[in-house]
Chains A and B, each alone.
Chain A
C-alpha cells in the first residue's frame, strides 16, 4: 500500500512537472540587444513613482484617502451626477470604453487611463497640464465634463469634507459671502460672478481648488500595474529559466514581440517599462467623424501648459522653478507639434478599445493596420512609413499586445468607491 502511494506521488509529480514546464530551455534566443530591449520594457525596470515637487501632499496618505472620496463624489459636478469615476471607471482600468467621454456633455477626446501616470511629465493627449493634480482640475471646470465651478466645489469641501481637508491642508478660508457658483468657466453668469470677486477672494478659492486636485493626485499616484504575462516571460528569459504556463508566450505572441521591437518599430515610441516615451507624435491618425472642431493636438496643448494657472511654475505649485525642468525646457512651437498626440502606454491596451485620441479605431487590428499602412496625416506630417507587414505578422503583433494585460496595483480598497458621506 505504501509503495502504491509512493508510485502515485512520483507519477503525480511527473505529470505536474510536465504540465508546468511547457517549454524547455531550448527556445527562441534573443540577441544581447534584444535582451536589453526586453529588460527595458519589463515592469521590473520601472523605478519607484517619482517625487512630485509641485504637490507637497503627493505622498500624504490622508490626502490620498480624501482624494479617493473626492474622485468618486458626484457632488463635484454641475448636475450632481458626474464624478471622476464616471469616465475613469476603476473596473475598466480607469477608462470608459467609449470613443468620446460623456460627462455633463460629450468631450472631443477619448478618456485616458490613470494607472502609471505619476511617471509621466505630461497629462492629457496633448499634454496641456504637467502634473496629475493640474490634470484633475481640468475636467472639473469643463462645461462638458463635470460642468461645475470653483466656488461650488469650495462649498462642497466646506460642507462635507471640512475636517479631512483641514487635517491635510490647514484651515479652509471663510466662505461667507462667496457666491454659490462662480469660476473662470464658459458659463457667463458664473464667469461674471467670478470676476466680481476680489483678487484675494479668488486666490483663496483657487487654492482650495488646487488642493482638491492635489488630493485626487495623491490617490491616483498610488495606482499602478501588476506584472503581466509578458513581464513574467521576460523575467524567465533573462534568468535563463524554463517557461511555465504562467510565463510562457505562444509562438505567435513571441513572434509578435519580435516584430514589436524589430521590423514594426513599435518600440521606437512605445519604449520603457510603460511602453511610452511620454512624448507627442503625429502618426497620421484620421480626424474623428464625431468631432466637428479642428484638433491640432500638442500644438495647442504646449501653449496651454505654458499659460496654465496650475502649472509647475504657477503660484499654486509647491515646486521651485528649477524643479520644473520639463516645463522650462518644453518645445512649445514648431511643425512637429501639429496634430501630435501623446504616446499612450500599452499596458492593458487590449482591455480598452476603442483606440486613438478620439476613439477613431474600434479594434487593435485596426490600429495595427493603420501603422502598417501609414496613411498621410489630415494635416501636419505623419512620422510613419509603411511597414509592409503580412496578415500573419499583424495578427502576431496583436497577439503580443494581448500579453500586456494585468490587474492594476493599488492599496487595499483603492479600486472601489469609498463610503461617501451623504448630504
Chain B
C-alpha cells in the first residue's frame, strides 16, 4: 500500500513529496510501525478530489459513525470535477493503516453501480481503532485516477 495521507491546505507538490517519503518509510519499516503517531492535520472529509483532479468522490458509510470490527457496505458517489455523475467506471479498493504498515483486513469490492454516480462498496471492515486510509482507483472515460480518504475510528 502506498503512503497516501492527505492534509488540508497542502500543495499537490508537497503532498506528492510527503507521500513518497512516507512510502519509503513504510516500505522500510513495514510490520514495525505500530506506534508512530498520525499526522495532526489529516483531512477526514468524506468528499475528496482525486489525486490528479479528474474526479470528486464522496463516501457514505452506513450510519453516521463507522463501526469497528463489523462488515459494512458503503456508497461511493463519483462525479467529474464538473459535477457530472460517473456511472460507468471500473473501481478497485485498497487501503490500510499507514502507521502499522498493514492493509485492510478484508478485500472490499465495488460490486455494482447504483445510478446517479453512486457505486455500492461491499466488504468494508476495520478491525482496530485509529487512522485508516481507503483508496479507490477509478478508471472511467475521463481517465485513471485515485481517490484517497482518511478514516478515523
A329 and B122 within 8 A (CB): yes
- 8 A Cβ contacts from B105-128 to A: 105-109, 122-123, 125, 127-128
Q: Which residues of B contact A282 (CB under 8 A)?
A: 31
Chain A nearest CB from B67 CB (Å) reads 11
Query: CB distance A382 to B32 under 8 Å?
Result: yes
Whether B102 pairs with A383 at a CB distance below 8 angstroms is yes
| B71 engages A325 (CB within 8 Å) | yes
Contact partners of B69 in chain A: CB under 8 A = 271-272, 277-278
Which of A96-104, A196-204, A330-338 forms contacts with chain B? Answer: A330-338
In the complex, how many angstroms separate the beta carbon of A280 from the nearest chain B beta carbon? 8
* Chain A: interface residue total (CB-CB under 8 A): 25
- Taking a contact as CB atoms closer than 8 A, the residue among B31, B105, B123 that contacts A383 in the complex is B31
Neighbouring B residues of A278 by C-beta, 8 Å: 69, 127
Which one of B71, B105, B130 lies within 8 Å of A331 (CB-CB)? B105
* Chain A residues closer than 8 Å to B129, beta-carbon distance: 268, 271
- Residues on B with C-beta less than 8 A from A279 are 105, 127
- Establish whether residues B107 and A383, one from each chain, have CB atoms under 8 Å apart when the complex forms: no
Tell me if B68 is interfacial: C-beta within 8 Å of chain A.
yes
Q: Is there an interface contact between B32 and A383, defined as CB atoms closer than 8 Å? A: yes
User: Known contacts A268-B128, A272-B68, A325-B122; is A385 also within 8 Å of B102 by CB?
Assistant: no
Note all chain B residues with C-beta closer than 8 A to A265.
Answer: 34-35
Q: How far is the CB of A128 from chain B (nearest CB, A)?
A: 17
Beta-carbon nearest neighbor of B29 in chain A: A385
Closest chain B CB from A396 CB (angstroms): 19
CB of B100 closer than 8 Å to a CB of A: yes
Q: Which of B71, B102, B104 has the most CB of A within 10 A?
A: B102
Which residue from chain A places its CB closest to the CB of B124 in the assembled complex? A329
Tally of contacts, chain A with chain B, CB under 8 A: 70
Q: Are B103 and A330 in contact (CB under 8 A)?
A: no
- B122–A384 touching, CB < 8 Å: no
Query: What's the least CB distance linking A69 to chain B, in Å?
Result: 34
A417–B100 alpha-carbon span in the complex (Å): 45
What string of 1s and 0s marks CB contacts (under 8 Å) between B30-74 and chain A? 111111000000000000000000000000000000001101000
- Give Cα A381 to B101, complex, Å: 10
| Residues of A close to B128: CB separation below 8 A | 268-269, 271, 277
Residue of B nearest to A50 (CB): B70
Given contacts A381-B31, A383-B32, A383-B102, whether A329 and B68 have CB atoms under 8 Å apart is no
A402 to B123 alpha-carbon distance, docked (Å): 36
A374, B109: Cα distance in complex, Å? 34
Known contacts A278-B127, A336-B102; A329 and B34 CB within 8 A of each other: no
Enumerate chain A residues within 8 angstroms of B107, measured Cβ to Cβ.
Answer: 329-332
Instruction: Tell me the bound Cα distance from A345 to B150 in angstroms.
Output: 29
**A residues in contact with B35, CB < 8 Å:** 265, 385
Q: How far is the CB of B62 from chain A (nearest CB, A)?
A: 13
| A residues 233-268 touching B (CB-CB < 8 Å) | 265, 268
List A309-337 residues whose CB lies under 8 Å from chain B: 325-326, 328-332, 334, 336
Is the beta-carbon distance between A336 and B103 smaller than 8 angstroms? yes
B99 smallest CB distance to A (angstroms): 10
The one of A271, A277, A334, A374 in contact with B103, judged by C-beta atoms closer than 8 angstroms, is A334
A65 to B68, CA, bound (A): 34
User: Which residue of B31, B68, B106, B108 contacts A382 across the interface (Cβ within 8 Å)?
Assistant: B31
Given the known interface contacts A271-B69, A272-B68, A325-B122, the answer about A331 and B32 at a Cβ–Cβ threshold of 8 Å is no
Q: Shortest CB–CB separation between residue B38 and chain A, in angstroms?
A: 13
Q: Is there contact, CB below 8 Å, between B127 and A329?
A: no
CB closest chain-A residue, reference B126: A277
CB-CB under 8 A for A329 and B30, given A265-B35, A268-B128, A279-B105 = no
The answer for the CA separation of A328 and B111 in the assembled complex, in Å, is 11
> Which residue from A271, A277, A329, A385 sits with its C-beta under 8 Å from B123?
A329
CA–CA, A271 to B104, complex, Å? 16
CA distance A313 to B26 in the complex (A): 36
B109 pairs with A383, CB closer than 8 A: no
Q: Tell me the nearest residue of chain B to A334, going by C-beta.
A: B103
Taking Cβ atoms with an 8 Å cutoff, the residues of B that contact A are 30-35, 68-69, 71, 100-109, 122-123, 125, 127-130
Question: What are 8 A-B interface contacts by the 8 Å CB criterion?
Answer: A328-B122, A329-B106, A329-B107, A329-B108, A329-B125, A381-B31, A384-B32, A385-B34
Known contacts A271-B69, A334-B103, A336-B103; can you find 5 more A-B pairs with CB under 8 A? A40-B68, A268-B128, A271-B129, A277-B128, A385-B34
Which 7 pairs between the two chains have the least Cβ-Cβ distance?
Answer: A329-B123, A381-B31, A277-B127, A329-B106, A279-B127, A385-B32, A279-B105
